[in-house]
Amino acid sequence: MFSGIVEEMGVLLRADHGRYRFESSLVAGDLGIGDSVAVNGACLTIVDRAPGWLESDVSPETLRRTTLGGLEAGDPVNLERPVRLADRLSGHVVQGHVDAIGEVLAAAPDLRVRIPRELMRYCVEKGSIAVDGVSLTIFELDEESFSVAVIPYTAEHTTLGAISAGDPVNIEVDVTAKQIEKLLAPYVAKLT
Q: What is the CATH number of the domain that holds 169?
A: 2.40.30.20
Residue 92 lies in a domain: no
**Are 175 and 93 in contact, with CB atoms under 8 Å apart?**
yes
pLDDT value for 177? 86
The predicted-structure confidence for 31-41, as pLDDT tens digits, reads as follows: 999 999 999 99
Give the separation between CA 64 and CA 68, rounded to whole angstroms: 9
Give the separation between CA 159 and CA 45, rounded to whole angstroms: 21
Residues in the chain predicted with pLDDT less than 50, given as ranges, are none
Residue 29 lies in a domain: yes
User: Helix, strand, or coil here: 7?
Assistant: coil
Please check whether residues 110 and 36 belong to one and the same domain: no
Domain count of the fold of the chain: 2
pLDDT value for 91? 81
pLDDT value for 183? 92
User: Helix, strand, or coil here: 30?
Assistant: coil
pLDDT value for 89? 76
pLDDT value for 178? 87
Give the separation between CA 108 and CA 85, rounded to whole angstroms: 32
Phi, psi of 9 (to 5 degrees): -95, 115
- Domain range for residue 28? 8-80
Residue 95 lies in a domain: no
pLDDT value for 86? 80
Please check whether residues 69 and 105 belong to one and the same domain: no
Please check whether residues 104 and 182 belong to one and the same domain: yes
Residue 91 lies in a domain: no
